[in-house]
Amino acid sequence: MLVESIAFALVGLVTGGAALLALPSYFRAARRVTLGTALAAALVGGVVAHFSLDGRYPAMSVAVAAVASGVLTSLLARPDLAAGRVPAHRHHPHRPGAHRARRRHRAV
């Protein structure tokens, strides 16, 4: 279990480091937060997988740790705040007087 725990920790650090290197502008939180989230997710996911699989498939436990780390690290990503990206607004900007403009039909 000790060797697997070290493998889980390495997987978590690699996942967090890869996320920070690949998309640095998406992660506005401190680097420690991103790496800590990836590390904790890999450890918890790996331990849960280890006990769920009765320790028979260590490679599967490491894979589950990698997936858990990637999923929980992706929750920290904020692509809407990335540098150089224009935020997409859900609603049109309010124009002054737009709510008062009514069409009047002419009597024919």
Per the document, the length of the chain is 108
For position 105, what pLDDT does the model report? 67
Condensed to tens digits (0 to 9), the pLDDT of residues 14-62 reads 999 999 998 888 888 788 998 999 999 999 999 999 999 998 999 999 9
Residue in 78, 8, 22 with CA at minimum distance from that of residue 50: 8
What mean pLDDT is reported for the chain? Answer: 83
pLDDT beyond 80 at 89: no
pLDDT band at 67 (very low <50, low <70, confident <90, very high): very high
For position 27, what pLDDT does the model report? 83
For position 15, what pLDDT does the model report? 94
pLDDT beyond 90 at 104: no
> How many whole angstroms from its chain centre is CA 21?
14
For position 1, what pLDDT does the model report? 82
Judge residue 38's burial from the number of C-beta atoms within 10 Å of its C-beta, 0-12 exposed, 13-18 middle, 19 or more buried.
buried
Residue in 107, 5, 96, 103 with CA at minimum distance from that of residue 58: 5
User: Between the CA of residue 3 and those of 14, 45, 68, 78, 94, what are the distances in Å?
Assistant: 16, 15, 19, 34, 59
